[in-house]
Amino acid sequence: MALFKRDKVETQPGQSAADLLAQCAADYGTPEEREDRATEARIQSGLTKARAADTAKARWGK
């Protein structure tokens, strides 16, 4: 499952910063959306580590 669209941002002569910003927002999301995805990824990572620790304890009978 791909979380991010990884298209190269190509600039064109005369392209304004606003145009580039709009293209980046369309490709990668707004800063708020990126922060939300990062937060969700940290939560999932923590849950995965906790489950792995529980599994390791269960295997050794502790």
The token duo for 61 is 């009978």
Average pLDDT, the chain: 81
pLDDT at 2: 52
CA–CA distance, 27 with 39 (Å, rounded to integer): 19
Residue 1 lies in a domain: no
Residue 22 lies in a domain: yes
The token duo for 35 is 């922060």
Residue 21 lies in a domain: yes
Compare 42 and 12 and report the one with higher pLDDT.
42
Task: Please count the structural domains in the chain.
Answer: 1
- Give the pTM: 0.52
Domain of 22 in residue numbering reads as 17-60
Q: Is there a contact between 37 and 22 (Cβ–Cβ < 8 Å)?
A: no
Residue 43 lies in a domain: yes
- Per-residue confidence band for 1, with pLDDT thresholds at 50, 70 and 90: very low
